[in-house]
Structure 1
Amino acid sequence: MSSSTASPPPRLWDISPTVAPNAPIFPGDAPYRLDWTARLSHDCPVNLSAITMSPHVGAHADAPLHYANGAPDIADVPLDTYLGRCRVIHALGAAPLITVEHLQHAGADLPTRVLVRCCERADTVWNDHFTAFAPEAIAWLAARGVRLIGIDTPSVDPASSKSLDSHQQLLRLDLRVLENLVLDDVPPGDYELIALPLKLQGACASPVRAILRELP
């Protein structure tokens, strides 16, 4: 009698921070808040909650509307970019900006999605001095066919930026972006990315439950 052993399922990495009232947010942004509108009891068959929050809390996808009036909101952004093969590149110690030099070591045969880990551990409290992207690095990735970039800090632009040069670079090159990822335990290499935004009409961004799945 022959026997076969089933292959283990592909490993998953959850690269989304927990969304909670104390999640770090840009100063002035709306924090996560949960209220109960109904509670399970003899008179009510369910617990029912309501939430308020900025769509930029936790792991999220920015819509072009976030940095350009009249640009598409998150409900109108095509989903295909947020699903598929991606590469995790380690650029630990890059500060204050991720530059081309931090990416070149992993630049051969890039897939269309690139996530960059620049933190030893993702921040759990607000930090004004997080690492961001140099616009030239975004252009370098786009020239190699990349359509989505991700980062394990709150933004591709520095917290103090008013011109948002890297966001404007995304707009010019029609790239998508994921911010506030948690890549602490993800080795460099290629994975399948699944990070679909919600279809929020008129919104400038959406939370995502971002995961990486081991490739066959």
Structure 2
Amino acid sequence: MTIIDLSIPVHPDMLHWGRRPTYEMVEEISDTNPSEVSRWLIGAHTGTHVDAPSHFVPGGTTVDSLPLTHTVGPARVLDLRHVEKEITADDLIAAGAEGATRVLFKTRNSTDALTRNEKSPTWVGLGPSGAQWLVDQGVVFAANDYMTMEAPDHTVEWPTHVILCNAGVVILENANLADTEAGDYYLVCQPVPFEGREAAPAPALLLPAETANVV
């Protein structure tokens, strides 16, 4: 069985939004100590992570209360590498998103913006028309291959996040799709259950689509 890990490594020099993650060694292996123990200081939006509805909706569902039916199940990777900056509803339809309830956007980010250690001046994100189309189609999970789902021109009012969060759609950001082909898979994504919080790191795996027949 081929299992695809979508998570990006977490380290102090990584691509980040806000402060860089840092760590300290609390214990190190030595003649008098048998183990290593580290302590990390990271943001909830570090690395491959999930945004819960409460990120933009007061009183919305928090990351520890997300339904497993949203983050685990059949999913579709869409080839959107031709999109320059903003994924529209028409782009989603052309890429074959109809009928999917969990979608992941493979864009040029996976081999460009996502590979950098600093914020890129441009990237590909989901536009408001695309977000509304997903909601109208009953999509419950959407993933992008950059540190924000939002398209570059909308990072003031954040309309895509507002649309998706108000509809209860789970957002996965920083998903590495560089080695993933477009098509149907079985998604397993489980965010760290930070109680009452708006986001959390979320290891994410894609398994063969036929996995759905044995689970």
Q: What's the secondary structure of 2:129's corresponding residue?
A: helix
User: Structure 1-normalised TM-score?
Assistant: 0.87
Rounded Cα–Cα distance in structure 2 between residues aligned with 1:95 and 1:68: 29
Structure 2 Cα separation of the partners of residues 44 and 68 of structure 1: 47
How far has the Cα of 1:128 moved from its partner?
A: 3.0
Larger radius of gyration: 1
Note if contact 2:135-2:164 (Cα within 8 Å) is conserved in structure 1: no
Tell whether the 8 Å contact from 1:16 to 1:58 is kept in structure 2 after alignment.
yes
Quote the Cα distance in structure 2 between the aligned partners of 1:198 and 1:77. Answer: 11
2:157 is aligned with 1:163: yes
Task: Please say if 1:179 is aligned against 2:176.
Answer: no
Cross-structure match for 1:149: 142
- The residue number in structure 2 matching 1:100 is 89
Among residues 190, 201, 205, which one is paired with 2:199 in the alignment?
205
1:141 aligned partner, one-letter code: L
Greater percentage in helix: 2
Q: Which stretch has the larger CA shift, 80-89 or 108-117?
A: 108-117
- Tell me, in whole angstroms, the C-alpha distance in 2 between the residues paired with 1:130 and 1:69: 28
What residue in structure 2 maps to residue 189 of structure 1? 183
Does 1:121 find its partner at 2:111?
A: yes
Pairing 1:78-97 to 2, within 5 Å after superposition? 78-97=67-86
Query: Can you list the C-alpha shifts for 1:192-214, whole angstroms capped at 9, x where unaligned?
Result: 01111011113221111111111
Q: Is 1:110–1:145's contact at 8 Å kept on the other side of the alignment?
A: no
C-alpha distance in 2, partners of 1:134/1:47?
45
Considering only aligned residues, what root-mean-square deviation do their CA atoms show, in Å?
1.7
Asked if the contact 1:86/1:193 (under 8 Å) is kept, the reply is yes
CA–CA separation in structure 1 for the residues paired with 2:30 and 2:175 = 38
Does structure 1 conserve the Cα–Cα contact (< 8 Å) formed by 2:54 and 2:165?
no
Q: Which amino acid is the alignment partner of residue 14 of structure 2?
A: A
* AA partner of residue 121 (structure 1): T
SS class of match (1:80): helix
1:134 to 118, 127, 130: 127
What secondary structure does 1:65 align onto? Answer: helix
SS across alignment from 1:194: strand
Identify the residue that residue 213 of structure 2 maps to in structure 1. Answer: none
Counterpart CA distance in 1 for 2:204 and 2:65 is 19
1:107–1:143 CA distance, 2 compared to 1 (3 A): farther
Q: Is the CA contact 1:23–1:57 (under 8 Å) kept in the aligned structure 2?
A: no
Detail structure 1 runs of 4+ shifted over 6 Å in the superposition: none
Following TM superposition, by how much is the alpha carbon of 1:108 offset from its aligned partner in structure 2, in angstroms? 6.1
SS of the equivalent of 1:146 reads coil
Q: 1:107 Cα shift?
A: 3.3
Give the TM-score normalised by structure 2. 0.88
Which string of whole-angstrom CA distances, capped at 9 and with x for unpartnered residues, describes residues 100-127 of structure 1? 1211134365221000111151522221
Aligned to 1:19: 10
174-183 or 69-78: which moved more? 69-78
Q: Which runs of 5+ in 1 are unaligned?
A: 1-9
Structure 2 portions without partners, runs of 5+: 211-215
Q: Is contact 2:49-2:201 (8 Å) kept?
A: yes
Which moved further from structure 2: 191-200 or 39-48?
39-48
* 1:55 and 2:49 correspond: no
User: How far did 1:20 drift?
Assistant: 1.3
Q: After superposition, what is the alpha-carbon deviation per residue over 1:162-194, rounded to whole angstroms, capped at 9, x for unaligned?
A: 211000001222211101111111111000011
